[in-house]
């Protein structure tokens, strides 16, 4: 998306305490879809390619800076918090005389770049622009008051200051506005706090514009949920469901099969090929890519992972920061930990854990095994209960399993060790040395039967 105006400044107001959240965490750091609310706002802001982004902080400011320590942000402190107008006043030294400023809010996380783009397209040499919408229940919002004849915006009246007639108005101020910087430099220093809250309202700038006969234009979002703010845990939960519903709708439009659109959670970015199927209660975090024909069964968690064409992930499997090849079968109850890569046609079965390993084409680890820090070759069969003993208490060590190896059940491979090509490991073995190619290797104590032995019994 291209920048719509020259020297577009963006100021994000993020200084609120958020008392109703009942948390020591700054309100804008509470997570929506796995990311802080402020992260969503910043993403929309950056999509406009602004000249400068300022974030006004107050309560918990140091935590916010630590969480978003990127070079493209300018931090401004508001202390004490005396209203939105006072907050923007603190950022005024960072706003050039030329250009314009778009005001956003750190606790209004779902506003879309497309909506903001329409707002900032306006030529602001002699205009101000505000984002408005109509609500069936406008309680709590400032009302947009228009001239009865011309329908021009004349002022914005806050809920607590509105009279009975004004409270019947359904068009509300979202708080998001776009104003020429030269006007901000003239108006912000002379704001007054003559209102029920004794605060400096940003909305009073609109009254100043009217007094100077500066036209005020408006734009509206496509969806009212874009302008919803968060002041409580309940509101946060409501926005989470809205966000997830919208994600599900987009997936359905793209041809993805969702067994129940109300039971999917996307906390990041999910890319899907054609004919993808996703069962209920699946969670996607980070950037997840699903290839053509991928099937994700119920109750799976995928994080920052790529799944290639034709692979099936069976129920209750967890996959994190890994690359999964084509036509693999994983699960149920499998765990693929970070930095693992599976080539094509690999089978990882129930209660198998794989960590930081590479497994080549056609290999199978089907039951109750742990493979860690291991390179597995092609067409390897790992029997049930096999463990790579990769940790000596201080360091991790590597296991190498070459092509066409067959490992019997209940085997321990004590790293560092190499299982050479074609090796067969007898069940119940503990392997501590490299094995020769194409030979049977096993380590077992001789089986002994003690004739006449009796099991101990309790004395009466």
Find all residues with CB under 8 Å of 157, minimum gap 6, and list them: 142, 143, 145, 166
Find residue 303's DSSP bridge partners.
285, 320
* Alpha-carbon span 294 to 71, nearest angstrom: 39
Q: Per the residue annotation, which of 185, 223, 367, 397 is the catalytic one?
A: 367
Extract the tokens encoding 45: 């802001």
Return the CATH superfamily for domain 8-227: Spore Coat Polysaccharide Biosynthesis Protein SpsA; Chain A (3.90.550.10)
Is 359 in contact with 377 (CB distance < 8 Å)?
Answer: no
Angstrom CA distances, 367 to 94, 312, 338, stand at 61, 17, 20
Please tell me the pTM assigned to this model: 0.89
Q: Provide the CATH topology of domain 233-441.
A: UDP N-Acetylglucosamine Acyltransferase; domain 1 (2.160.10)
What tens-digit pLDDT sequence spans the chain (460 residues)?
A: 444 447 999 999 999 888 899 999 999 999 999 999 999 999 999 999 999 999 999 989 999 999 998 889 999 999 988 999 999 999 999 999 999 999 999 999 999 999 999 999 865 567 899 999 999 999 988 999 998 899 999 888 888 889 999 999 999 999 999 999 999 999 999 999 887 778 898 988 988 998 999 989 999 999 999 999 999 999 999 999 999 999 999 999 999 999 999 999 999 999 999 999 999 999 999 999 999 999 999 999 999 999 999 999 999 999 999 999 999 999 999 999 999 999 999 999 999 999 999 999 999 999 999 999 999 999 999 999 999 999 999 999 999 999 999 999 999 999 999 999 999 999 999 999 999 999 999 998 888 899 998 888 888 7
At residue 328, the pLDDT reads 98
395 is catalytic: no
Instruction: Give 418-443 as a DSSP string.
Output: EE-TT-EE-TT-EE-SPBPTT-EE--
pLDDT at 155: 87
Residue 1, pLDDT score: 47
Q: Which pLDDT score is estimated for 4?
A: 47
Q: Where are the domains of the chain?
A: 8-227, 233-441
Report how many helices (DSSP H) and strands (DSSP E) the chain contains, helices first: 7, 39
Q: How far is Cα 224 from Cα 237, in angstroms, rounded to an integer?
A: 16
> What's the residue count for the chain?
460
- Triad 140, 142, 148: Cα angle to 5°: 130
Q: Residue 328: how many CB atoms within 10 A of its CB? A: 21
């Amino acid at each position: 998306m291209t920048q719509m105006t020259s020297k577009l400044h963006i100021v994000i107001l993020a200084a609120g305490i958020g008392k109703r959240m009942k948390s020591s965490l700054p309100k804008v750091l509470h997570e929506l879809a796995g990311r802080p609310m402020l992260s969503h706002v910043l993403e929309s802001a950056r999509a406009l390619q602004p000249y400068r982004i300022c974030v006004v902080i107050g309560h918990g400011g140091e935590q916010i800076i630590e969480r978003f320590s990127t070079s493209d942000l300018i931090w401004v402190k508001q202390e004490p918090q005396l209203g939105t107008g006072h907050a923007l006043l603190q950022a005024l030294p960072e706003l050039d005389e030329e250009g314009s400023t778009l005001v956003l809010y750190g606790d209004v996380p779902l506003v879309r770049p497309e909506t903001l783009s329409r707002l900032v397209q306006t030529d602001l040499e002699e205009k101000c622009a505000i984002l408005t919408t109509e609500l069936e229940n406008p309680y709590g919002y400032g009302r947009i008051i228009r001239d009865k004849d011309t329908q021009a915006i004349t002022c914005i009246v806050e809920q607590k200051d509105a009279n009975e007639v004004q409270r019947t108005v359904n068009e509300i101020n979202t708080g998001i506005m776009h104003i020429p910087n030269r006007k901000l430099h003239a108006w912000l220093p002379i704001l007054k706090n003559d209102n029920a809250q004794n605060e400096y309202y940003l909305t009073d700038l609109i009254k100043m514009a009217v007094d100077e006969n500066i036209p005020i234009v408006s734009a509206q979002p496509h969806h009212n949920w874009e302008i919803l703010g968060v002041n409580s845990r309940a509101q946060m939960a409501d926005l989470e469901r809205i966000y997830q519903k919208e994600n599900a709708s987009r997936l359905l439009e793209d041809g993805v099969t969702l067994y129940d659109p109300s039971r999917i959670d996307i906390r990041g970015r999910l890319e899907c090929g054609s004919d993808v199927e996703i069962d209920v209660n699946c969670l996607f975090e980070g950037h997840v890519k699903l290839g053509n024909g991928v099937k994700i069964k119920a109750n799976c968690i995928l994080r920052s992972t790529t799944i290639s064409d034709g692979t099936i992930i069976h129920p209750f499997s967890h996959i994190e920061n890994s690359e999964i090849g084509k036509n693999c079968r994983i699960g149920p109850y499998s765990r693929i930990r970070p930095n693992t890569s599976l080539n094509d046609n690999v089978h990882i079965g129930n209660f198998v854990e794989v960590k930081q390993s590479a497994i080549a084409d056609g290999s199978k680890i089907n039951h109750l095994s742990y493979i860690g820090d291991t390179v597995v070759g092609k067409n390897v069969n790992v029997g049930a209960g096999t463990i790579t003993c990769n940790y000596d208490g201080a360091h991790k060590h590597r296991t190498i399993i070459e092509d066409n190896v067959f490992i019997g059940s209940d085997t321990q491979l004590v790293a560092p060790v190499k299982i050479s090509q074609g090796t067969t490991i007898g069940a119940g073995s503990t392997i501590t040395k490299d094995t020769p190619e194409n030979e049977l290797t096993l380590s077992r104590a001789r089986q002994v039967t003690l004739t006449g032995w009796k099991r101990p019994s309790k004395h009466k």
